[in-house]
């Protein structure tokens, strides 16, 4: 079966992401554009962190059978 993908918007300031980075929070919750809620480890967003935080539209791909993370990319 092919990978599935969720599209969602993230807007976190650098300070907000710092809580995840320091371990105060481990998971990020977001609502996908199709209405589903997604929860994933904050570490997947670390490559996208800038001085302004993390802002944009992202695509998270996962295996639909195991629901395991495959990849994340910024699309906007």
pLDDT tier for residue 1 given thresholds of 50, 70 and 90: very low
pLDDT tier for residue 76 given thresholds of 50, 70 and 90: confident
Beta-carbon contacts of 20 under 8 Å, excluding residues fewer than 6 positions away, are: 26, 28, 42, 45
The Cα–Cα gap between 76 and 57 comes to 5
5: exposed, middle or buried (Cβ count in 10 Å: 0-12, 13-18, 19+)? middle
Give the model's pLDDT for residue 3.
63
Residue 62: which CATH number?
A: 2.40.50
**pLDDT, tens digit, 9 for 90 and up, residues 12-48:** 998 888 887 777 778 889 999 999 999 999 889 989 9
Residue of 48, 46, 55 lying closest to 23 (CA atoms): 46
> What average pLDDT does the segment 36-65 reach?
92
How many domains does one find in the chain? 1
Give the structural domain span for 49. Answer: 4-74
């Amino acid at each position: 079966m092919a990978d599935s993908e969720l599209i969602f918007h993230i807007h976190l300031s650098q300070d907000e992401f710092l809580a995840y980075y320091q371990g105060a929070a481990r998971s990020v919750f977001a609502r996908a554009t199709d209405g589903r809620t997604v929860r994933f480890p904050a570490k997947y967003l670390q490559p996208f962190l800038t001085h302004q935080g993390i802002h944009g539209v992202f695509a998270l791909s996962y295996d639909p059978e195991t629901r395991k993370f495959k990849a994340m990319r910024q699309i906007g």
